[in-house]
């Protein structure tokens, strides 16, 4: 009897231990992952050349959003990179865009399951990823010499180190328009909001859709507000600083509130496509390319999507900056390219750096241009645009060449971007909420984000 | 060797040395602790911090005060209540009707029973995506069919006035099978003698339903109400699959408000929201369940 009991206890303890052991790795994953590169990478790297057999093929994972233009260019770039580096394979993984994607990226970083290399926004969204803890420092990489200095601040963490490399062309935020409709109705490109609204009215009178909105993809609803930042800073030059320091608010700064009001005016004017609430980004591209609608407020990277899906109509699409109140002060809000980063816990830092250096080289740009055509100026010195750029890109370039005709979007000047903006702009753009109300709610949202980031003064 | 039997056993020692109950309890206890108790206690802690997933700063009850100031909280609360009451009410009425229908002598009864139950087995997200396509305002099957009769259907999921109702109807479509099965069991448990006696007294079938089936199926009704109300109050998956709380915030329920906070990276705040949600559901369901159970005993 006693013996049996003893045996039973021993077995029970063994069972318990095995249970705990099963739980063990989860608890200790993080330190192992972060220690890995320092502790085990060096020997692995020196082992490889010593072996007589051909070096083992290293597989890198590359995490990008599922926007078709980005997928197409990533596939092209990976093919070119693998051809030049036979020892390295790159597997592309995709995630949805917008808030869902932000969530996935943050969760994978926090749980130590991030891919070796990942592509993500620069600017305020980059700051929210806690770069010092999660990414490899790329400040001293050779390729940084080729990157324009204007880009580096948007991938620099508070510790002053650079963590990313640009992976696409700079973008403008504004309005893609259908040139055929403009020619047919004898319209000219608007330099002011009044001219823009007059054009909208004429297009509506002609029985056509004046403004395309695609709230099925909520992120597309933010352009009236975000792309209006050039006009905000014309009126209030120090808005970004004051906004970051909790001294300027959207609801109480008339020029900033104006951005929300413009979106409200568009809805009230009845200029929208009938299915604006459920249409998606790809629907929007189709509509502006085929002339089912005249104006589509968008970032210029979308030109790549039109080049892919509607190459025959690429010449029908033009671009202008979001017009402000004063036609004499017409300028463009500029988006810095998204960047690629290396996860700090990667087991192949050398290979990952080679891949990132490739993406930030002239070959990387060329592979992107080959997939999508040119979508805007690159921020890499060695990259050149093809000779024949689409009209919308040709419309974009003069803003970059004129003095003072561009301003970075607010998300590149301030670390704070309220996460609910896209839902608020959907409500304003659908007439569910007034502009003033939405601006006030956005200020609340911004406050939460600033507190989460632990900024001084909030 | 020391003689253990000599020392008198305390209850604790007895508990420890009697191998059968304690040692059997531990594996389940460990799983319960690791996967339920520990996360619950940890979430209580994290709800008191500003948490970035990478590090946490203790900020006291700030998250709770922020959560109650959340502009969309009360809209979410109202939507949760509307959604819970509406789906639960419709499931009771329709479940009862189907239950009566499927316990009567009809052709292909077993086949029809499985048809009614089938949507319960389908993945909620799959149902959500399918109905999102069916309810598309211009290319959806529903509005295209209505168009054949010259009716211009509403924008089911994108018109703020209809969106929540549309999702609730899909929830009922998906959940009514379970309510029906509960009612079939409840109705079958009613002794046949009551019906025979009432027939002798000359009752018609409507009177039979009203005076026999309805009161005697009350335990089934309570079960359906409790289950579907809990499900409705904490409903998230179907709403997220169909509208993501949109357009804007118009179909946000409490769970989706919390999820949006989590998605925005406000991890401490959303954890506080979850603690509030647990308390809220408990506050509504525990008294309701006690009340309904008391009624059941009285029967």
> pLDDT tens digit string along A147-183?
988 888 899 998 899 999 999 889 999 999 999 999 9
Phi and psi angles of residue B141, each rounded to the nearest 5 degrees, phi first: -60, -40
Residues of A within 8 A of B56 (CB-CB) are: none
Confidence at residue B295, expressed as pLDDT on a 0 to 100 scale: 67
pLDDT of residue A40: 38
Asked whether residue A284 is assigned to any structural domain, the reply reads: yes
Chain A residues contacting B, CB < 8 Å?
5, 8-9, 12, 15-16, 19-20, 23, 99-100, 102-103, 106-107, 109-110, 128, 130, 133-134, 215, 218, 274-275, 277-278, 419-420, 423-424, 426-427, 430, 432-433, 441, 444, 448-449, 451-452, 454
Q: Total domain count for chain A?
A: 2
Per DSSP, which regions of chain B are E strands? 49-51, 56-58
Burial class (CB in 10 A: 0-12, 13-18, 19+), A94: middle
CA of A49 to nearest chain B CA: how many angstroms apart?
37
The reply to whether A286 and A156 lie within a common domain is no
CATH level 2 (architecture), domain B72-298:
Orthogonal Bundle (1.10)
Which of B26, B50, B249 lies at the smallest CB-CB distance from A452?
B50
Average pLDDT over residues A378-393: 87
For chain B, give every domain's residue range. 72-298
pLDDT-based confidence at residue A5 (cuts at 50, 70, 90): low
As a whole number of Å, the end-to-end CA separation of chain A is: 69
Probe site for chain A from B18, B264, B266 (most A CB atoms < 10 A): B264
Contact assessment for residue B143 and residue B166, using Cβ atoms and an 8 Å cutoff: no
What is the Cα Rg of chain A in Å?
25
- Integer angstrom CA distances of residue A401 from A168, A315, B55: 19, 22, 44
A251 and A190 in a common domain: yes
Contact B19 A8 (CB under 8 A): yes
Nearest to A19 among B27, B136, B137 (CB): B27
| Residue B262 contacts residue B115 (beta carbons within 8 Å) | no
Q: Measured between alpha carbons, how far is A283 from A285 in angstroms, rounded to an integer?
A: 5
Residue A15 pLDDT: 45
pLDDT at A29 exceeding the cut of 50: no
How far is residue B197's CA from residue B216's CA, in Å, rounded to a whole number?
15
Percent of chain A exceeding pLDDT 90 equals 59
Residues in chain B predicted with pLDDT less than 50, given as ranges, are 1-2, 299
Partnered with residue A324 across adjacent β-strands are A192
Tell me, yes or no, whether A98 lies in a domain: yes
Residues A228 and A368 in one domain: no
Spatial separation of the C-alpha atoms in residues B142 and B127, rounded to whole Å: 15
On whether both A261 and A407 belong to a single domain, the answer is yes
Whether the CB of B89 is below 8 Å from some CB of chain A: the reply is no
Q: From A121, A333, A127, A92, select the one nearest A219 (Cα to Cα).
A: A121
Residue in chain A nearest B139 by alpha carbon: A275
Judged against a pLDDT cut of 90, whether residue A429 lies above it is answered with: yes
Q: Are residues A149 and A201 in the same domain?
A: no
User: Does the residue A352 lie in any domain?
Assistant: yes
For chain A, the average pLDDT equals: 85
Asked if residue A47 is part of any domain, the answer here is no
pLDDT higher than threshold 90 for residue A115: yes
Tell me, yes or no, whether A326 and A213 share the same domain.
yes
pLDDT at residue number A12: 52
A113 and A139 share a domain?
A: yes
Considering only CB atoms, B23 lies closest to which of A12, A218, A419, namely A12
CATH number at residue A327: 3.40.190.10
Choose the weakest-confidence range: A234-238, A358-362, A380-384, B19-23. Answer: B19-23
| Mean pLDDT (whole number) for A60-66 | 93
Closest CB to A128 among B31, B249, B265: B265
The rounded Cα A184 to chain-centroid distance in angstroms is 35
The predicted pLDDT at position B278 comes to 82
Domain presence at residue A113 = yes
Residue A106 structural domain = 54-169+337-372
* Contact predicate A148/A440, CB 8 Å: no
pLDDT of res. B226 = 85
CA distance B183 to chain A (A): 38
pLDDT of A26 higher than 70? no
Q: Is A157 found in the same domain as A65?
A: yes
pLDDT value at A220 more than 70? yes
pLDDT computed for residue B69 by the predictor: 83
A412 and A325 share one domain: yes
B244 touches chain A (CB under 8 A): yes
Same domain, A235 and A184: yes
Query: Do A96 and A203 share a domain, yes or no?
Result: no
Rg, Å, chain B Cα set: 26
| pLDDT over 60 (residue A28) | no
Domain annotation covers residue A31:
no
Among B87, B83, B139, B2, residue whose Cα is nearest residue B252? B83
Q: Please check whether residues A362 and A414 belong to one and the same domain.
A: no
CB A173 within 8 A of CB A316: no
Q: Is the CB of B30 less than 8 angstroms away from the CB of A12?
A: no
> What is the C-alpha to C-alpha distance for residues B179 and B91, in angstroms, rounded to an integer?
6
Tell me the average pLDDT across A198-214.
95
DSSP string, A371-407: HH---S--SBTT----SS--HHHHHHHHHHHSTT-EE
Are the C-beta atoms of residues A319 and A302 closer than 8 Å to each other? no
pLDDT of A4: 53
**From CA A282, how far away is CA A309, in angstroms rounded?**
9
In a domain, A110, yes or no: yes
């Amino acid at each position: 009897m006693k013996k049996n009991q003893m045996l039973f206890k021993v077995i029970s303890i063994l069972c318990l231990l095995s249970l705990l052991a099963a739980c063990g790795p989860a608890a200790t994953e993080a330190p192992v992952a972060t220690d890995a590169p320092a502790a085990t990478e060096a020997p692995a790297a020196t082992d490889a050349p010593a072996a007589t057999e051909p070096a083992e093929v290293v597989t890198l994972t590359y995490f990008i959003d599922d926007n078709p233009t980005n997928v197409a260019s990533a596939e092209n770039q990976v093919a070119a990179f693998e051809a030049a580096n036979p020892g390295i394979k790159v597997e592309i993984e995709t995630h949805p865009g917008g808030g869902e994607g932000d969530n996935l990226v943050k969760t994978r970083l926090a749980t130590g399951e991030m891919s070796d290399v990942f592509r993500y926004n620069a600017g305020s969204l980059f700051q929210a990823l806690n770069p010092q803890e999660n990414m490899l420092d790329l400040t001293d990489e050779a390729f940084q010499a080729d990157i324009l200095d204007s880009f580096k601040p948007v991938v620099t963490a508070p510790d002053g180190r650079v963590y990313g490399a640009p992976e696409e062309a700079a973008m403008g935020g504004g309005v893609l328009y259908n040139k055929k409709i403009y020619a047919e109705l004898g319209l000219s490109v608007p330099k002011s909001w009044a001219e823009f609204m007059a054009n909208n009215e004429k297009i509506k009178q002609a029985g056509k859709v004046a403004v395309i909105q695609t709230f099925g993809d909520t992120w597309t609803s933010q352009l009236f507000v975000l792309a209006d930042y050039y006009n905000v800073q014309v009126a209030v030059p120090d808005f970004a600083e004051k906004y970051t320091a909790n001294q300027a608010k959207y609801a109480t700064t008339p020029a900033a509130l104006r951005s929300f009001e413009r979106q409200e005016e568009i809805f009230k004017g009845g200029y929208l496509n009938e299915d604006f609430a459920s249409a998606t980004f790809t629907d929007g591209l189709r509509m502006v390319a085929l002339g089912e609608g005249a104006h589509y407020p968008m970032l210029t990277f979308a030109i790549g999507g039109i080049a892919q899906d509607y190459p025959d109509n690429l010449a029908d699409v033009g671009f202008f900056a979001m017009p402000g109140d004063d036609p004499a002060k017409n300028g463009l809000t500029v988006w810095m390219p998204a960047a690629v980063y290396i996860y700090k816990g990667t087991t192949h830092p050398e290979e990952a750096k080679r891949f990132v250096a490739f993406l930030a080289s002239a070959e990387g740009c060329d592979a992107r241009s080959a997939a999508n055509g040119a979508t805007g100026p690159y921020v890499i010195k060695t990259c050149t645009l093809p000779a024949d750029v689409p009209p919308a890109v040709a419309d974009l370039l003069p803003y970059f060449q004129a003095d003072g005709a561009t301003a970075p979007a607010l998300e590149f000047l301030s670390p704070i971007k309220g996460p609910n903006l896209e839902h608020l702009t959907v409500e304003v753009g659908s007439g569910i909420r007034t502009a003033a109300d939405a601006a006030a709610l956005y200020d609340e949202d911004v406050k939460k984000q600033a507190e989460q980031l632990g900024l001084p003064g909030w | 060797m020391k003689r253990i039997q000599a020392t008198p056993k305390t209850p604790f020692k007895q508990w420890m040395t009697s191998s059968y109950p304690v040692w059997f309890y531990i594996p389940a206890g460990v799983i319960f602790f690791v996967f339920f108790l520990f996360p619950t206690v940890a979430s209580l802690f994290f709800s008191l911090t500003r948490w970035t997933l990478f590090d946490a700063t203790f900020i006291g009850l700030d998250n709770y005060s922020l959560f109650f100031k959340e502009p969309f909280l009360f809209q979410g609360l109202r939507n949760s209540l509307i959604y819970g009451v509406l789906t639960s009410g419709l499931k009771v009425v329709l479940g009862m009707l189907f239950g009566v229908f499927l316990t009567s002598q009809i052709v292909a009864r077993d086949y029809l029973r499985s048809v009614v139950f089938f949507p319960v087995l389908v993945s909620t997200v799959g149902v959500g995506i399918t109905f999102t396509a069916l309810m598309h305002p211009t290319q959806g099957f529903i509005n295209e069919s209505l168009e054949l009769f010259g009716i211009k259907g509403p924008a089911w999921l994108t018109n703020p006035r209809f969106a929540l109702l549309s999702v609730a109807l899909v929830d009922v479509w998906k959940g009514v099978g379970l309510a029906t099965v509960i009612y079939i069991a409840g109705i079958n448990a009613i002794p046949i003698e009551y019906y025979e006696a009432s027939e002798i007294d000359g009752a018609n079938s409507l009177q039979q339903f009203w005076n026999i089936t309805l009161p005697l199926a009350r335990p089934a009704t309570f079960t359906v109400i409790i289950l579907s109300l809990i499900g409705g109050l904490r409903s998230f998956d179907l709403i997220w699959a169909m509208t993501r709380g949109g357009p804007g915030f118009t179909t946000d329920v409490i769970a989706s408000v919390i999820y949006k906070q989590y998605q925005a990276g406000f991890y401490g705040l959303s954890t506080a929201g979850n603690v509030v949600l647990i308390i809220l559901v408990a506050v509504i369901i525990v008294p309701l369940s006690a009340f309904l159970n008391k009624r059941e005993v009285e029967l």
